[in-house]
Copies of this chain bind each other. A is one copy, B any other.
Amino acid sequence: MTRVLVLHSVSLLRSALAALLTKEGAFDVSACGWGTAARLSQTLRPDVCVVDLDCPGATALLEGDTEGAVSTGTTDITGTTGPTGPILTPRMALLVLASAGRPGALRRAFEARALGYVDKNGSTHRLVRAIRKVAEGERFIDESLAFGFLEAARMPLTQRELSVLSRAAEGESIAEIARGLHLSNGTVRNYMASATRKVGARNRIDAIRISQGAGWV
């Protein structure tokens, strides 16, 4: 029986996903949030880990940055750790639930070597099939997400522009961003201007809105 671990930051939704998978797929399903994910993944040794990409914690999980989860553990080969050790292990297949139109999130999942990419607006049947496939080590990508991959491949922003935009999105002023990144105010303004132009935005606020919508920042 395939063991599935559902990771979601909202408890009612992870219980709901677990109920769905138990009912429709006859999997052995557990569900938890980021806080207990490491412990549970080590105890249960799941075959497949299902992660909702739109959860705030998903980005940190995929990037191996567990600051938000009060990391005290060690870093394993995948570079992703939780409070008591690694969450994702090399033997576990990663399957992400993604929304179309968020290429930035897909890109991060791809970089974290996710094997399955399932559209959250697809059918339960597809999700069950995807879990079975990735459990066997095969890749699964929903057609509706394919365009997002294409967009993800041509991410328009440089790392510097992303850093500047992310800090601006958190409410930092030009001067604060400049201090934080050891740049001059003028350079920060230049990065903001180039990022705004590249994403086709009308102004800084619009650039942040567009970039957040796409999942770049």
Contact = CB atoms under 8 A, between A and B. Distances in A.
A154 interface: no
Classify the interface of chain A: helix, strand, loop or mixed: helix
Of the candidates A11, A17, A170, A171, the one having the most CB atoms from chain B within 10 angstroms of its own CB is A171
Total identical chains:
2
Interface stretch (A104-112, A156-164, A181-189, A198-206): A198-206
Contact of A120 (B13, B19, B206, B210): B13
A15 B97 CA distance: 14
Given A19-B20, A20-B19, A12 B122 contact: yes
Interface in A8-47: 10-13, 15-17, 19-20, 23-24
B205 A171 contact: yes
A155 to B, nearest CB: 20
A78 interface: no
Contacts of A168: 205
A74 interface: no
Scoring A11, A121, A172, A205 by chain B CB atoms within 10 A of each residue's CB, the highest score goes to: A205
Given A15-B124, A169-B205, A171-B201, 20 more contacts: A10-B121, A11-B123, A12-B97, A12-B118, A12-B122, A12-B127, A13-B13, A13-B17, A19-B19, A19-B23, A19-B24, A20-B20, A169-B209, A170-B209, A171-B202, A171-B203, A171-B205, A173-B203, A204-B205, A205-B208
Interface of A: 10-13, 15-17, 19-20, 23-24, 97, 99, 118, 120-124, 127, 168-173, 201-206, 208-210
